[in-house]
Amino acid sequence: MTAVDLQPGVPTPSEERKESGGGFLGVIRANYDLLVAPAIVVVGLIVMVAYVGSQTLDTIEERALEPANVFGQLGQHLLLTAYSTVLVLIIAVPLGIVLSRPGARRIQGGVLALGGFAQALPPFGVLLLLGFWEFGVRSAVIGLTLAALLPVLRNTVVGLQQVDQSLIEAARGMGMSARQTLFSVEIPLAVPVIVAGLRVALVLNVGTATLATYIGAGGLGELVQQALRLNRINLLFVSGAIIAAVALLVDWLAGVAERAIVARSG
Amino acid sequence: MSETENMIVLEAVEKVYPGSTSPAVERLDMAIPRGEIVMLIGPSGCGKTTTLKMMNRLIEPTGGRIILDGDDVTDVNGDQLRRKIGYVIQQGGLFPHYSIADNIGVVPKMLGWDKNRIKERADELLHLVGLEPSTYRDRYPRQLSGGQQQRVGVARALAADPPVMLMDEPFGAIDPITRDRLQDEFLEIQRTVGKTICFVTHDLQEAVKLGDRIAVFGTGGRLAQYDDPDTVLTHPADDFVSDFVGGGAAVRRLSLLELSRLELHPIETDAAAVGNRNGTPVAEVDGSGRPVSWRHLPDRDAATTTLVTVPLSGTVYDAVDVMLDGSASLVAVVDDEGLPQGVLHWNDLVAGLKTRERGA
Amino acid sequence: MNVFQYFSANSQQILFLTQAHFLYVLICVGIGSAISIVLGLIVSTGEPNPNRFSFDWWATGVREGSLLITAAVLTVPSLALFVLFLPITGLGVTTAIIVLTVYSLYTVLRNTVAGLRSVDRAVLESARGLGYGRIRRLLTIQLPLAWPVILNGIRVTTLISISIAVVGSIVQGPGLGQLLLTGITRIGAANAFPQVLIGTFMCLVVAAVFEIFFAIVQRLTIPRGIRV
């Protein structure tokens, strides 16, 4: 499980490079940070394959690393991630919009402060507590969703908050209703921040999903659990590498999608 | 020896930025006399700021020599050099986490002064720039207005009593009224401290008002003219300078002419002089001898003409201002006590002003 | 057995683990922040100056590179990172500390770099004009002015680390995660649920202690002139 804090106002390295030239080279130059994750993944996987090739695996390890087994767990993992991220999107974004309305200004500050503090609440614990209610995928998805809710909520509120007040005034001044202003001015301008929050949620979910195995919901964490139980160092190493690679690639895809969405929204 | 007369000498100083073919400042020779205010002016991108920053080597010249008070400082340690040269910039650049007194004490502290001396110096300078030490010493920059911050900036630059001050549009970001007052105070301070000052501005009015000399820079870092303000206004060296100085030159020149330097027309205050044949205006005075209204004017009705006065310490510009304001065609020039010293006519402006040799 | 009964019966163990959790986070965030701030300062000595090429290119390279790599590390699920260190450092506290420290690098590094860069150009220029050298400028002007941003980065990292530290128990790291792990293996037992609940909840207590700690540090270390 992982958490990325997004502080508005403090530029991340990628935010500063938006204006470098056009054309193909320009795109590469503006997005060279997106090359880092694939590079790490490729090098890491080469190292892993070389390492595994040099070792003689016993039958337990071979069985655990059978493609059918690994891909089955990968499928479960991605499914858990996808379900929970979609749920987060459905719940947190509208809730964030509601919270950003003038009527909710008073509870907004409290929710944001709580959101910061709640980062200390371990998703692992939330997941396990739900396990007492029910073992399985349903609990896992709920747990993942709860754990990733706050970053998106927070970014939605902050994203809407930072929209230039004079633009909103201009829109109202031209006769747009509050509703029209929200949908045609505020939300489009807040999209980059909201999308960044969703990316954080996605990465969080990929991470927390590794722990879903502790409440019997499968996923790639099962490999780790198995390796720990059987005390197989090779298997541990391989499973760690696979999980890391999956997380980096998911984040990378999300990063590419984020750039595309933000570029479109202007 | 010229080295004692000139505080700063630039010899063939040149700046070419990396990756640029044309120089930002082109082989510049310039001498700044001790105790004078030299204004660097020109359109943006003309190299005036670059020139200023080369004097304390904030920007390293790519050619030539810089001589400060007779010493070649082209290659000495830049940080050490800058501690001996005052520096004021447009935005003040006060350190927000230091109190006002600490800000002023920055250079003395680096030079190893003891605490009491730094504290005394800070108070002294706050006083000099017109800020009450007990009120302002422990405040922080954000608690001060822009004008006050700029005063502190000047005080900070003066802290270690450097012989030279470099000022980069120090009043550029200040509202016009405050700027005018700061300029007056600045001249007042300079009268006390007598520094050699190099001052970048984009405001010709400011250059004329403050400068003993004006250096007009043309595009491409060329020094187009370097003269006293009067000469720059009346005899521009070339078309560029004359364009830059523009059509308002004659009017601007008025602010250079001090009334005390003019040959004024006489004025009478004695009622017996009414109807005199020589055309001297007669004013009615109050108990302490200050003129209040016209008793007699040779060529017009004295009763319908307002009597306006201008202090002798003012300039012709001030006199014109007063006349326009009072719809009067003449103005009485008065001394510090308000006693009449002479008269200036509107016609004099057109006919040509006569200056007199001022005795020491 | 309800939560309160469990708590009073095991208070000593719970408090011990809470304390261990606190220290574990404190040590890792402490080491990680120290590394990040020093690294951030070093890569920020290269200043935006069109006249100098000498030092800047590698400082910029190291800055961007370390930001990208530490950001990538933060993307890797903590379980995977703990596990990847196992073959090298084995089960136990060493692995737990290394991984949590590595996790805490990015946020502080990013805030250090951004904070140092966000200092007003006019302030830096006048410092230079008054004869401040590069190092003096960095340490007496930039660092104090960037400190609120850096401190906030440390605070955020601490909160995140508290929740990540729990996972460290899977590789036999110290702290409250042990309550969670033993609780879930004894699911069905009467005190399993209170155990997990308290393990989770005590993380918030640790967070609250840290928040108080940071409020005090903030009060004490942020210069008066820039306090909001």
**Which is more confidently placed, B350 or B68?**
B68
- pLDDT score, position C8: 85
- Rounded CA separation C93/B49 (Å): 59
Which residues numbered 140-199 in A keep a CB inside 8 Å of some CB on C?
none
CA-based end-to-end distance of chain C: 49
- pLDDT score, position B211: 92
Assigned token pair, A21: 């030239």
| Local confidence band at A125 (pLDDT 50, 70, 90 cut-offs) | very high
For chain C, list residues whose CB is within 8 angstroms of any CB belonging to chain B: 50-51, 53, 120, 122-133, 141, 144-145, 223-226
CA B28 from centre of chain: 24
Q: Name the phi and psi angles at B344, rounded to 5.
A: -120, 130
Which residues numbered 12-41 in C keep a CB inside 8 Å of some CB on A?
none
Beta strand B6-15 with B63-68 is: antiparallel
Looking at residues A238-249, what average pLDDT do you find? Answer: 91
- Rounded CA separation B155/C126 (Å): 13
- pLDDT score, position A20: 43
Fold designation for B259-351? CBS-domain (3.10.580)
Same fold: B2-254 with B259-351? no
Classified as helix, coil or strand, B31 is strand
- Rounded CA separation B318/B184 (Å): 14
- pLDDT score, position C108: 95
CA dihedral B102, B104, B108, B113 (to 10 degrees): -50
Assigned token pair, A102: 């003038």
- pLDDT score, position A7: 38
Q: Out of A83-97, A99-113, B73-87, which region has the weakest mean confidence (pLDDT)?
A: A99-113
- pLDDT score, position A29: 65
Chains that touch A (3 or more CB pairs under 8 A): C
Q: Cβ separation of C79 and A36 shorter than 8 Å?
A: no
Beta strand B213-218 with B37-41 is: parallel
Of all residues in chain C, the one with the smallest CA distance to A200 is C75
Taking each helix axis as running N to C, give the angle between helix A233-264 and helix C78-89, from 0 to 180 degrees, rounded to the nearest 10: 150
Whether residue B200 has pLDDT greater than 90: yes
Q: Which of C172, C173, C127 is nearest to C21 (CA)?
A: C173
Assigned token pair, A81: 């991630």
- pLDDT score, position A1: 34
Query: How close B218 comes to chain C (CA, Å)?
Result: 23
Query: How close B80 comes to chain C (CA, Å)?
Result: 6
Q: The domain containing residue C42 runs over which residues?
A: 3-226
Q: Out of A228-237, B191-200, C121-130, which region has the weakest mean confidence (pLDDT)?
A: A228-237
Whether residue B86 has pLDDT greater than 50: yes
Q: Cβ separation of B98 and C225 shorter than 8 Å?
A: yes
- Rounded CA separation A149/A123 (Å): 11
- pLDDT score, position A6: 38
pLDDT, averaged in runs of 10, over chain C (228 residues) = 82 93 96 95 69 62 86 90 88 92 94 91 90 90 94 94 93 90 82 90 94 93 83
Amino acid at position A172, single letter: R
Q: Which of C49, C123, C126 to mutate to test the interface with B (most CBs of B within 10 A)?
A: C126
**Which is more confidently placed, B39 or B21?**
B39
Q: Is residue B292 classed exposed, middle or buried when 0-12, 13-18 and 19+ CB atoms within 10 A define those classes?
A: exposed
- pLDDT score, position A19: 42
Q: Cβ separation of C123 and B94 shorter than 8 Å?
A: yes
CA C101 from centre of chain: 7
Contact between residue B100 and residue B139 where contact means Cβ atoms under 8 Å apart: yes
Whether residue A8 has pLDDT greater than 50: no
* Residues of chain B with C-beta less than 8 angstroms from the C-beta of C224: 97, 99, 140
Q: Out of A140-144, A227-231, C197-201, which region has the weakest mean confidence (pLDDT)?
A: A227-231
- Domain residues of chain B, as ranges? 2-254, 259-351
Contact between residue B212 and residue B190 where contact means Cβ atoms under 8 Å apart: no
How many CB atoms are located within 10 Å of the residue B143 CB?
Answer: 13
Domains and CATH numbers, chain A: 24-264 (1.10.3720.10)
Task: Indicate contact of A with C: 3+ CB pairs under 8 A.
Answer: yes
Helices and strands in chain A: count of H runs, count of E runs: 12, 0
Classified as helix, coil or strand, C34 is helix
* Ordered alpha helix ranges (H), chain B: 2-5, 48-55, 78-83, 100-104, 106-110, 115-128, 133-136, 146-158, 176-193, 204-210, 229-234, 239-245, 249-254, 316-326, 346-351
How many CB atoms are located within 10 Å of the residue A3 CB?
Answer: 27
- Distances in Å between the Cα of C70 and the Cα atoms of A203, B168, B206, C62 are 15, 42, 53, 12
- pLDDT score, position A66: 82
Q: What is the pLDDT of residues B268-327, one digit of tens each?
A: 877 777 766 667 888 888 888 888 888 888 777 777 788 888 888 888 888 888 888 888
Of all residues in chain A, the one with the smallest CA distance to C116 is A10
| Local confidence band at B359 (pLDDT 50, 70, 90 cut-offs) | very low
Q: Which of A194, A243, A239, A204 is nearest to A81 (CA)?
A: A204
- Rounded CA separation C102/C109 (Å): 11
* CATH code for position C169: 1.10.3720.10
Whether residue B213 has pLDDT greater than 50: yes
Residues with Cβ within 8 Å of B207's Cβ and at least 6 positions away in sequence, in order, are B39, B41, B201, B214, B229
Beta strand B164-168 with B196-200 is: parallel
Chains that touch C (3 or more CB pairs under 8 A): A, B
Q: Which of C196, C106, C27, C203 is nearest to A118 (CA)?
A: C203
Supply the Cα-derived Rg of chain B in whole angstroms.
Answer: 24
Q: What percent of chain B is modeled with pLDDT above 90?
A: 33
Residues with Cβ within 8 Å of B157's Cβ and at least 6 positions away in sequence, in order, are B86, B87, B88, B165, B167, C130
- pLDDT score, position C163: 93
- Rounded CA separation B334/B314 (Å): 10
| Local confidence band at B245 (pLDDT 50, 70, 90 cut-offs) | confident
| Local confidence band at A15 (pLDDT 50, 70, 90 cut-offs) | very low
Looking at residues B326-338, what average pLDDT do you find? Answer: 85
Which residues numbered 108-137 in C keep a CB inside 8 Å of some CB on A?
110-111, 114-115
Of A3, A128, A251, the CB nearest to C184: A128
- Rounded CA separation B135/C6 (Å): 62
Whether residue B59 has pLDDT greater than 80: yes
Number of domains making up chain C: 1
Query: How close B49 comes to chain C (CA, Å)?
Result: 13
Of C51, C120, C133, the CB nearest to B60: C51
Q: Out of A36-45, B154-163, C54-63, which region has the weakest mean confidence (pLDDT)?
A: C54-63
- pLDDT score, position B92: 77
- pLDDT score, position A127: 92
| Local confidence band at A22 (pLDDT 50, 70, 90 cut-offs) | low
* The 3-state secondary structure of B271-312, one letter per residue: HHHCCCCCCCCEEEECCCCCEEEEEECCCCCHHHCCCCEEEC
Classified as helix, coil or strand, B84 is coil
- pLDDT score, position A4: 40
Q: Is residue B178 classed exposed, middle or buried when 0-12, 13-18 and 19+ CB atoms within 10 A define those classes?
A: middle
Q: Cβ separation of C126 and B99 shorter than 8 Å?
A: no
| Local confidence band at B355 (pLDDT 50, 70, 90 cut-offs) | low
Query: How close A182 comes to chain C (CA, Å)?
Result: 31
Of all residues in chain A, the one with the smallest CA distance to C22 is A120
Q: Cβ separation of C50 and B99 shorter than 8 Å?
A: no
**Which is more confidently placed, B133 or C47?**
B133
Q: Cβ separation of B83 and C130 shorter than 8 Å?
A: yes
* Residues of chain C with C-beta less than 8 angstroms from the C-beta of B142: 225-226
How many CB atoms are located within 10 Å of the residue B96 CB?
Answer: 18
Whether residue A99 has pLDDT greater than 60: yes
Classified as helix, coil or strand, B330 is strand
**Which is more confidently placed, B248 or B24?**
B24
* Residues of chain C with C-beta less than 8 angstroms from the C-beta of B101: none
- pLDDT score, position A17: 40
Supply the Cα-derived Rg of chain A in whole angstroms.
Answer: 21
Of A36, A241, A243, the CB nearest to C79: A243
Q: Cβ separation of C156 and A116 shorter than 8 Å?
A: yes
What's the whole-number average pLDDT of chain A? 83
What's the whole-number average pLDDT of chain B? 86
Of A126, A236, A247, the CB nearest to C75: A247
The tokens 């699920």 sit on which residue? C77
Q: Which of B165, B173, B252, B244 is nearest to B209 (CA)?
A: B252
Of A120, A124, A233, the CB nearest to C167: A124
Contact between residue B333 and residue B342 where contact means Cβ atoms under 8 Å apart: yes
* Residues of chain C with C-beta less than 8 angstroms from the C-beta of B90: 122
Fill in the DSSP letter of residue B268: B
**Which is more confidently placed, C185 or B253?**
C185
Residues with Cβ within 8 Å of B177's Cβ and at least 6 positions away in sequence, in order, are none
Task: Provide the CATH number for the domain formed by B2-254 in this structure.
Answer: 3.40.50.300
| Local confidence band at A237 (pLDDT 50, 70, 90 cut-offs) | confident
* The 3-state secondary structure of A82-138, one letter per residue: HHHHHHHHHHHHHHHHHHHCHHHHHHHHHHHHHHHHHHHCCHHHHHHHHHHHCCCHH
Give just the sign of the alpha carbon dihedral C71, C74, C80, C86: positive
| Local confidence band at A11 (pLDDT 50, 70, 90 cut-offs) | very low
- pLDDT score, position B78: 86
User: CB of C198 within 8 Å of any CB in chain A?
Assistant: no
- Rounded CA separation C106/C72 (Å): 9
* Residues of chain C with C-beta less than 8 angstroms from the C-beta of B110: 130-132
Contact between residue B187 and residue B210 where contact means Cβ atoms under 8 Å apart: yes
Classified as helix, coil or strand, B38 is strand
Taking each helix axis as running N to C, give the angle between helix A67-100 and helix A221-230, from 0 to 180 degrees, rounded to the nearest 10: 130
**Contacts by A110-114 with C-beta closer than 8 Å and gap 24+?**
A111/A153, A111/A157, A112/A154, A112/A157, A112/A158, A114/A150
Looking at residues B186-212, what average pLDDT do you find? Answer: 91
Contact between residue C155 and residue C214 where contact means Cβ atoms under 8 Å apart: yes
Q: Cβ separation of C223 and B156 shorter than 8 Å?
A: no
Strand ordering across the sheet containing B63-68: B25-33, B6-15, B63-68, B71-72
| Local confidence band at A101 (pLDDT 50, 70, 90 cut-offs) | confident
Of A37, A121, A247, the CB nearest to C203: A121
Helices and strands in chain B: count of H runs, count of E runs: 15, 15
Q: Which of A128, A160, A121, A161 is nearest to A143 (CA)?
A: A128
